[in-house]
Amino acid sequence: MIDVTLESVSKRFGRAGDTAAVDDVDITIAAGEFFTLLGPSGCGKTTTLRMVAGFYFPSSGRIRFGDQDVTRRPPNKRDTGMVFQNYALFPHMSVAQNVAYGLKIRKVGRAESKRRVEEALAQVHLAGYGERRIDQLSGGQQQRVALARALVIRPRTLLLDEPLSNLDAKLREETRVEIRRIQREAGTTSLYVTHDQAEAMAMSDRIAVMESGRVRQIGAPQEIYHRPATSFVARFIGRSNVLSLPVLGAGPETVTVRLPDDSQVSVAAPTDHGLGTGATALVSIRPEHIGLTSATEPGVVTGRVTELEFTGMSTNLLVDVAGEAVQVAAVDPPAGLSVGDQLGLRLPRERMWVVRP
């Protein structure tokens, strides 16, 4: 077990080096931690992972495994285990030969190697599949061979590049539980890359949300969900309303804003919010935290239902509040609610949170 540190890592491509795929990223992954890079495609998460693996060298910055500087060490000297998006299994070798490949390079004895391969295959529930050819396996099985191949060498760091994206929905959920179980058992420091926020939330100890090559927020899933740092994070993780509201007053950890019904409410804010009276605050609130009411009281804004969709678990509404579209997920909406109805929306103070742009 070892911790992994990225210090001001940047990667610039292009002739003049003017396109920064990764821009000044600082991350410390604790030993044994399951750490996820989350973001939309093109945000630089895979580039970051490939720098940790050694397939790219950073344009600037350092990468450390424990106290060793590995910034410019070739990939075959890093002792990482990588699971590729398309698995990258060697098509000309059997399942067992694939898994044994890294052991052979590490000059592990024949008997020991055989034992460890069997063990690794059993761990991914593929005992007895050793002699199969790769093209005789299903996608899910190939995925597990790739995982076994990466883990059998007992790597210092496990790197996973969207390993579930080629699986169907049901298999994806099963496999993510499996990956997490195996990772816990092995206790390997893991860096996971995905664009699927549900996957990231379910699996990770901590998540770094990336956008346009930069890390926007690092935190535990709950923290990122409930206290998103920016409007991008708020919208990317789950669904969120980000309301632009005028600031009436500001404290060190609160900001007082005016709601569309002219009532005032004091909203929690990060200490470095930097907002003053007269500015416009971005306030995020999740659709499922908005209540429906017919009462008129402070903190209740009214609007007109413009869209309505029943999903079973809840009813998703789009409500027009003074020209702004507000998403609401109502678990128990009033019977007979339909498009065009006027509604009162209760915005609970404790569920609102000021985010940066």
Partner 1 sequence: MSTIPATPSPATIPPVTGSPAPAGDGRRRRFTDRFTGGTNSRWFPYLLVLPLALILFGYVVQPMFATFAESVGVDAVANYTSFFTNSGVARSSLVTSLIISAASVLLCGIVGVAMAFLLKRFSFPGRRLIEAIILVPAALPPLIGAISFQLLYSETGILPRGLQQIFGTAEPVLPFSGIAGVLVVHTFTMYPFFYLSAAAALAGMDPSVEEAAYNLGAGRVRVWRTVLLPMLTPALVSASLLVFMTSLASYTAPLLFGVDQTMTMQIYINRTNGDLPMASTYASVLGVVSVLFLLGMRWYEGRRSYRSQSKGVAAHRREITNPLGRWLALGASLLATVVLLAPVATIALVAFSADGSWTTEVVPAAYTMQNFVTIFSDPNAFQPILNSLQMSLLATIGCIVIGVLIAYAVRRLDFRGRGVLDVAVMLAWALPGTVVAINLISAFSTGNAFSFGQVLIGTFWIMPLAYFVRFLPLVFRSSAATLAQIDPALEEAARNLGASWWRAFGSVTLRLMLPGVIAGGLLAFVHGVGEFVASVLIYTSQTAPISVEINNRMYSFEVGTAAAYGMLQVVLIFVVMVVSGRLETGRRASREAAQWTA
Query: Contact positions toward partner 1, by CB under 8 A?
Result: 50, 53-55, 74-82, 84-86, 88-92, 101-102, 105-106, 133, 135, 149-150, 153, 159
**Could you give the 3-state DSSP secondary structure of residue 139?**
helix
Min dist. Cβ of residue 319 to partner 1 (A) = 40
Min dist. Cβ of residue 282 to partner 1 (A) = 36
Min dist. Cβ of residue 76 to partner 1 (A) = 5
Alpha-carbon distance 228 to 237, whole Å?
Answer: 8
Residue 127 neighbours by CB under 8 Å, 6+ apart: 118, 121
Min dist. Cβ of residue 50 to partner 1 (A) = 8
The smaller minimum CB distance to partner 1, of residues 53 and 328, is found at 53
Tokens at 177, concatenated: 């539980």
Min dist. Cβ of residue 222 to partner 1 (A) = 33
Alpha-carbon distance 151 to 132, whole Å?
Answer: 19
Please give the full DSSP string across 196-250, using - where no structure is assigned.
-HHHHHHH-SEEEEEETTEEEEEE-HHHHHHS-SBHHHHHHSS--EEEEEEEEEE
8 A C-beta contact, residue 208 and residue 218 = yes
Tokens at 287, concatenated: 């659709």
The smaller minimum CB distance to partner 1, of residues 76 and 311, is found at 76
8 A C-beta contact, residue 61 and residue 10 = yes
> In whole angstroms, how far apart are CA 105 and each of 92, 95, 124?
17, 17, 22
Rounded to the nearest 10 degrees, how much is the dihedral formed by the CA atoms of 179, 183, 189, 193?
A: 0
Min dist. Cβ of residue 149 to partner 1 (A) = 7
The smaller minimum CB distance to partner 1, of residues 149 and 206, is found at 149
Give the pairing of strands 353-355 and 280-285: antiparallel
The smaller minimum CB distance to partner 1, of residues 13 and 202, is found at 13
Min dist. Cβ of residue 107 to partner 1 (A) = 10
